[in-house]
Every structure is written in C-alpha cells, then in structure tokens.
A and B are shown apart, each in its own frame.
Chain A
Amino acid sequence: MGKEVILSLKNITKKFGALVALDDVSLDLYKNEVLALVGDNGAGKSTLIKIISGAIIQNRGEIYLKGRKVDFASPIEAKRAGIETVYQDLALVDSLNVANNLFLGREEKVSVLGGTLKFLRHRYMEKRSKEILDTLGITIPNIREQVKFLSGGQRQSIAVAKAAAFGKNIIILDEPTAALAVKEVGHILELVKKCKEEGISIIIITHNLEHAFMVADRFAVLRVGKKVGERLAEDTDIDEIVKLITGGTLVKNGKDGSERKIVNA
C-alpha cells in the first residue's frame, strides 16, 4: 500500500448541545485503502463521516484533502471534491425512480438558445444508469421504477452504485450491509473491492466485524467520541477489535509472537 495520505482529519470535535459526539479525533486515510471505522452505537462514527461529507460542520478541528485544507459548508462541496457518501439512513428519494436517484444532484442537461434554457437529458441518464448498474453487476429490472417499490438490497445497491460511479477520490459507506440478506452482503462487499481496484479510498462503517475483515486494510476504533486505536488488518483480529470497541483489557500475542497490551482508554 502506498503511504500517500489522501484525507487527514486533525483534532475534530463536535458537540450537540452538551453532548460531545466527537472529542479531538485525528485520523488519516491513505490512498487506495479500505478503512473500517468501527465502534459501538453512539460512538460518533456517523457524525464523523457526516463532517467529512459536509452534511454537518465540526466545532473544532481541520480537514485536509490531499494536503489542502478544506471547509465543506454543504454536501455539494464535498461531492465536488470527489467525496461520495452512502448514509446510514439511505439518502434516496422514494418517490423518484432509479435513474433519477442515481443522477440526483448531478443531472445531465442540454443547453438550448445559447444556454438560456437547459433541459434534462432523460434518455442519456437512463442509458448511463443502466451502464453503471451493469458494470457493478447490479440487476434492477426497471430503471424507471420508483425506488420505494424495490427491496432493501436493491435500494442499498443503488445507493452504493451512485457513490461508486461518482466518487472520484473517496467513497464513504455507513452501515452498507445492515439488514441485508447474505447474498446481498456479498454483493456489496464485492462492490467495495471493485472500487478499491479503481484506486479509490474507502471508509466503511459496519457493526459486523466479519464483513469488515473481508474488505478492510486497516481499522480505526471510536469509543464514546474518542479514537481509541488504529490497527492494520493483518496485525489484528476480531477479538482485539472487540476489546477496543468495548474497552475491555486484553493481553495477547501478536502474529510475530511479541506481547502487546491494550489498556482501557
């Protein structure tokens, strides 16, 4: 793995009233890696990725993208910087169809009368939507179906496909495998690997550590708003990550035989 840092979070703090959701969190994301962001419910994972995506704004701390400081005031600014996010509560518009959802926020238009009027390129967007889904191996029978009539897995796939198709630098997935059937989970994880092969960096949040270990290169663990550890996937295992998440103490031998001690934060 090239050690080029693509995204760097420095001392991020976020408060909701009196509640400190994130407390001085610093974290680097490397180019072309899959980082699993794990932690218990309420640890602050979603809050952290929403800050990276411009959906909420931190109280303190800085974000650097490829070494440059960025201040995303809204999601569109993060998108312009090549960061695409699949939110935990699936940001799809149920009443719009599949193609409309895939292109929501980045509609293709054709200019007439020298740009005074712009009209949607319906057919082009539908064609591209089919191509996007085909390339990712996602089967949706009717691209004009409103997404409210699709299964959970299909909806999840569409959300991930949207991120995969348009994320130039970073793709963030918040609980993409929650509430999916086994086969569908496999599919989503395949999508993550495909994106990585394209040279993109991925942050994946999941409660299922087995899923995380199937795709992640590295782990970052949050506990009640603080970062309590980072591990390379090859240097750790599920037991250790669980201890980090829950705050239990663990003494175990590393793969190289050395004894490592993890203490409560």
Chain B
Amino acid sequence: MENIKKNIAELNKNWGPQISLAVALILLLILFSSTSPFFFTSSNLANIGLYMTILGVMAAGATVALIVGMLDVSQYTILALVGAASITLDRAGFHIGIVLFFCLAAGAALGAVNGFIVTVLKVHPIIGTISSAMVMRGFTYMITASRTLSLNPETRGNYFAIGRGSLFGIPYSLIIMIFAYLVIHITLKHTQFGRYLFAVGGNSNASFLAGVNLRKIRFGALMISGVTGGIGAFLLLSQVGSLQPNVGEAALLNVIAAVLLGGISISGGSGKLTGTILGVIVLVVIQNGMTILGIQTFWQMIVRGAIIIIAVFINVIRGGGFKY
C-alpha cells in the first residue's frame, strides 16, 4: 500500500503534467468530434498537423530558453522577418537549399542578437525579446512594404514538395519537427551544454561557482530558440507559399502558452519535451476546434489568454512561479 502511494507520488512528480494533458486531449477530441462532423475529417486533421509542426518546432526552442529561466517571446517575429527575407531571396533566384540554410543561419543570428541584448547589455529576457521583436517586426514591414509576399510561382513547387509532401505517408514537415525534437532532446540529456542549461536555470549562482560560464549558456539557449524560429519560417513558406508581414502578431504568446501548458516551469531548471509537444497538440486542437465550431474570434482570444493564466497558475501551484 505504502509502495503504491509512493509510486503514484513519483509518477505525479515526474509525469503529472503529461498525464493531465493526455487526459485533456482525449476529452477535447471527444468533445470536438461529437459536436462537429468536420473535426475528424482527414483534411482537418492534416490541417492541424501542419500548423502543429510550426508551433511545435518553435515550442521546442522556447523550452530550451525556459529551462534556463528565460522567456523568449520573439520567435514568431523571427519567423516573420526570416520568412520575408527568404521569399525575397527566392524571388531573387536563390536555390531552395540556400534559402533553407539562410533560414537556419538567420534564425541563429537573430537569436544571437537576443543573446547579446540579454547577456551583455543585461536587459531582462522578457523586455529584451519584446523590444527586439518590435525592431524585427519593423524590418519585416520594411522588407515587405507592408504587403503579402509570395514565393516565385516557378520555384514554389519545390517548397510545396516539402511542405505538403510526405514520405511513406508521413509529412516531411512532421519529420522535420521530429528531427528537431530529437536533436534538442539529445542536447538536453546527453551534452554538457544541456546539463548546464538545467544547472543555470536551477541555480545560476551555484552554477557560476561550480565554474559554469553563465553568459555562454544563456547566449546559446537564445540562439537555439532563434534557430527554431528560422525553421518555423521555412516550414511556413513550404506549407503556405506566402507570408503576411503581420504573421504571428496575434499569436505572439502561442508558443509560450503551449510550453507553459506543457508544464515547463516558468522559474527555470526543469522541463521535458514530452510536456512541450503535448502542450502544443492540446493548444492547437483547442484553437482548431473553436474555429471549426464557428466560435467568434474575440471568444477565441479570451480563451487563449485564459489558458496562459491557468497554465501559469498550475505552474505556481506545482512550485514554479517567476524567478529569473
């Protein structure tokens, strides 16, 4: 009996958020499929799946930043700016391979700018990434002249082959996302950098005294977060083929909402990618379900905001809460 209790406590400690999310997900699926005949159609599920990959990749990057105790709210703007620049490159005749490389490199570079703002100028991460996002959004409007940009009609087939294509029935987008999760998982669990992410997030002073270079770790985390924004840009172009300069502006906190929903502690030092991906799926299903049911946009905004508050509140109950 004692043992069973202990095991349950242990299970809750390690997997609590994941279990509750899985249950919530099942309930949501039942709710939406019973209230709308369109929910469980293959085209809708494919729709959810594709959107999920973009959010999912960025959420994995945001998880890395949050493990060190930093909220990076600039990812969607990195996506917008890198996406706009990529379309410009494509229209200037650059090969898709070069554009892909550009997305990764530009994402890393913009993450490095965030890293500089936070670690060298010592601006608090939330303020730092909000302001850098404002600057980047400005550049996005400048590049696009405030219009929707589209890939060159001659070359966009190459992008759609990736964004809308699949291998043995598995969409390439999903494969890319899974690959990103694998790389980040291995980084977190099996490298010194990953260990230091947890250490610095858990107790930065102790980490410093143990010889960890705090600046390097925080810088690296924001770069990874930025790279995932760049990957998000490439996925968006490949799936949609065009980009509005205000993309993600309304969804700015979606990534954060998903990650917090996934039970990643806002105070740093812990976080599991399984929680992140479940948080992403639940959030995307809720949003898709609301859209399919024809719920008005303002209600959707209210629900989205409420989800963040609830997620953070649960976080606080579980012993998290703001620190940094």
Interfacial residues, chain A to chain B (CB-CB below 8 A): 53, 55, 74-76, 79, 85, 87, 90-96, 100, 104-107, 109, 118-120, 122
* Proximity string of chain B (198-232) to chain A, C-beta cutoff 8 Å, 1 when within and 0 when not: 11011101111111110000000000000000000
Bound CA span A43–B206, Å: 23
Residue in B closest to A87 when the chains form the complex, CB atoms? B209
Contacts of B208 in A (CB 8 A): 55, 74-75
B199 CB contact (under 8 Å) in A79, A87, A93, A122: A93
Q: Is B190 in contact with A120, judged by CB distance below 8 angstroms?
A: yes
Interfacial residues, chain B to chain A (CB-CB below 8 A): 186, 190-192, 195, 198-199, 201-203, 205-213, 269-270
Q: Is B210 in contact with A105, judged by CB distance below 8 angstroms?
A: yes
Q: Is B190 in contact with A79, judged by CB distance below 8 angstroms?
A: no
Contacts of A87 in B (CB 8 A): 209
Bound CA span A174–B191, Å: 31
Contacts of A107 in B (CB 8 A): 192, 195
Bound CA span A100–B191, Å: 12
Bound CA span A74–B208, Å: 8
Report whether over half of chain A's contact residues are helix, strand or loop; otherwise say mixed: loop
Sort A-B residue pairs by CB-CB distance and give the 4 closest, nearest first. Answer: A76-B211, A105-B211, A105-B210, A95-B202
Contacts of A55 in B (CB 8 A): 208-209
Q: Is A93 in contact with B203, judged by CB distance below 8 angstroms?
A: yes
In the complex, what's the smallest C-beta–C-beta distance from B67 to chain A, in angstroms? Answer: 10
Residue in A closest to B200 when the chains form the complex, CB atoms? A93
Q: Is B203 in contact with A106, judged by CB distance below 8 angstroms?
A: no
B195 CB contact (under 8 Å) in A75, A76, A91, A120: A120
Which of A85, A91, A109 has the largest number of chain B CB atoms within 10 A? A91
Contacts of B199 in A (CB 8 A): 93, 96, 100, 104
Residue in A closest to B204 when the chains form the complex, CB atoms? A93
In the complex, what's the smallest C-beta–C-beta distance from B137 to chain A, in angstroms? Answer: 35
Bound CA span A87–B207, Å: 12
- A92-B203, A120-B191, A120-B192 as given contacts; A75 in contact with B198, CB under 8 Å: no
Q: Is B191 in contact with A75, judged by CB distance below 8 angstroms?
A: no
In the complex, what's the smallest C-beta–C-beta distance from B111 to chain A, in angstroms? Answer: 21
Bound CA span A111–B254, Å: 38
Bound CA span A53–B206, Å: 13
- A91-B206, A94-B202, A94-B203 as given contacts; A100 in contact with B195, CB under 8 Å: yes
Known: A96-B198, A96-B199. 9 other contacts (CB 8 A): A75-B208, A87-B209, A90-B206, A91-B209, A93-B199, A96-B202, A104-B207, A107-B192, A119-B191
